[in-house]
């Protein structure tokens, strides 16, 4: 029936539907824009998995300091945080590596503001093996031979180590997914910008790396020193074969004798204002740095 009237009805229906949709969406859109009042603001933080522990601890503690400010933290990797900052969807990006020039350009193009960097602490990137592994130290070159494309070390016996109770002594390489700042830091400082060997287990978080190394006797992996557990062991590292090997400790990180020490930073779009500014200042304050240290990272040596 009524084939000739159907287009009219369809148009009416679509019009009605879109009108009600618009009515639903509009107030929500307006409301979101007004959240900038300092009395109750939300700060969006995203990025580095290395820093997600301390970022969450800060967010928790900041609730007590400034009850009106809600800090929302998520991980995903330094690359994910920086990508979100480029789009302007977050207030603060955590990064365990420096922002690259093309990323800074992209952020300027998209938002018109220049990203501003704050160094909020230091971390030693530790190389972990299972606690049953008799190995205690490696040189950066050996590490590169294990992890880099074309590297020749694939078994533990090549390193002169035999692990008790395993039949297959192939080295199980535990790495990070490519959005991780730790991954990029390792590639830059250990592999000298070469690529990783294919077939490494690419974990989604700093903690997962340590967990897998803890359950796998033949594994070696890298992660922040704050993630150490009783089932793993941190190796001492030497810059060159023959150099003294240095353990990843707070002291060795600050005096730069540990070869894989790095700074941890947060980025904001332009000079931070209002609640974000206060939050960044608080992270750098004594109270903020104390939480950083408790989470297993190295605080900034005191400047005041």
Partner 1 sequence: MTAHGPQTPHTVGSRPSRSALAVLGERALENLIRLSGVSAIFFVLAIFFFVFREAAPVLVSDSFSLKEFLFSVEWYPTSDVNVRYGILGLIVGTACVSGLAVLIAVPFSLGSAIFIAEFCGPRLREGLKVVIELLAAIPSVVWGFIGLTVMSRLIVAVTGAPVGVNVLNGGIILALMCVPIITSIAEDALKAVPDSYREAAQALGATKWQIVYRVLLPAAKNGLLAAVLLGVGRAVGETMAVLMATGHAVHIPRSLLDSVRTLTANIAAELGEASVNSEHYRVLFLTGVLLFLITFMINLTADLVVRGVRRER
- Residue 164 interacting with partner 1 (CB under 8 A): no
Exactly one of 198, 240, 302, 304 binds partner 1 (CB under 8 A); that residue is: 198
DSSP symbol at 264: E
214 binds partner 1 (CB under 8 A): no
Smallest CA-to-CA distance from 121 within 265, 255, 295, 304 is with 265
| Residue of 111, 204, 249, 293 interacting with partner 1 (CB under 8 A) | 204
Cβ closest to partner 1, residue 194 vs residue 239: 194
- Candidate residues 27, 33, 160, 199; the one interacting with partner 1 per rule CB under 8 A: 199
Q: Which residues are CB-contacts of 71 (< 8 A; sequence separation ≥ 6)?
A: 42, 43, 45, 58, 59, 62, 63, 279
CB atoms under 10 Å from CB of 118, counted, come to 15
Q: Where are the beta strands (DSSP E) in 209-298?
A: 219-224, 232-234, 236-238, 261-269
Beta strands in the chain (DSSP E): 42-47, 70-76, 92-95, 115-130, 137-139, 172-176, 201-203, 219-224, 232-234, 236-238, 261-269
Please state whether 141 falls in left (phi above 0), alpha (psi between -120 and 50) or beta: alpha
Interacting span for partner 1 (CB under 8 A) from 64-72, 151-159, 169-177, 293-301: 169-177
Bridge partners for 89 per DSSP:
none
- Size of the residue set binding partner 1 (CB under 8 A): 46
Instruction: Decide: is 103 part of the binding site for partner 1 (CB under 8 A).
Output: yes
Contact mark string toward partner 1, 32..61, x via CB under 8 A? ------------------------------
Residue 31 interacting with partner 1 (CB under 8 A): no
Binding of partner 1 at residue 101 (CB under 8 A)?
Answer: no
144 binds partner 1 (CB under 8 A): no
* Residues contributing to the site for partner 1 (CB under 8 A): 1-2, 5-6, 9-10, 12-14, 76-77, 79-80, 82-83, 86-87, 103, 106, 166-168, 170, 172, 177-179, 184, 187-188, 193-195, 198-204, 212, 215-219
């Amino acid at each position: 029936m009524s084939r000739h009237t159907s287009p009219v009805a369809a148009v009416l229906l679509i019009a009605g539907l879109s009108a009600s949709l618009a009515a639903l969406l509009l107030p929500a859109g307006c409301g979101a824009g007004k959240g900038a009042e300092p009395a109750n603001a939300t700060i969006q933080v995203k990025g580095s998995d290395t820093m997600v522990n301390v970022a969450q601890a800060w967010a928790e503690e900041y609730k007590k300091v400034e009850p009106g400010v809600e800090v929302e933290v998520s991980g995903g990797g330094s690359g994910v945080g920086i990508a979100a900052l480029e789009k302007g969807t977050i207030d603060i990006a955590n990064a365990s590596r420096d922002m690259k020039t093309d990323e800074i350009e992209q952020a300027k193009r998209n938002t018109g503001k220049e990203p501003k960097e704050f160094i909020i602490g230091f971390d030693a990137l530790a190389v972990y093996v299972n606690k049953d592994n008799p190995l205690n130290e490696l040189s950066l070159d050996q590490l590169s031979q294990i992890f880099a494309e074309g590297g020749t070390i694939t078994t533990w016996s090549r390193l002169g180590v035999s692990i008790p109770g395993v039949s297959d002594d192939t080295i199980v390489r535990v790495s990070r997914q490519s959005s991780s700042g730790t991954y990029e830091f390792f590639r830059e400082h250990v592999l000298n910008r070469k690529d990783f060997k294919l077939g490494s287990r690419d974990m989604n978080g700093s903690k997962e790396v340590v967990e897998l190394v803890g359950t796998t006797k033949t594994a070696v992996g890298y992660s922040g020193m704050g993630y150490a557990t009783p089932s793993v062991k941190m190796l001492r590292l030497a810059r060159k074969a023959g150099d003294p090997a240095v353990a990843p400790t707070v002291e060795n990180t600050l005096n730069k004798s540990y070869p894989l020490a790095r700074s941890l930073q947060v980025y904001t779009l332009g000079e931070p204002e209002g609640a974000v500014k206060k939050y960044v200042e608080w992270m750098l304050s004594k109270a903020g740095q104390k939480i950083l240290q408790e989470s297993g990272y190295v605080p900034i040596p005191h400047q005041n």
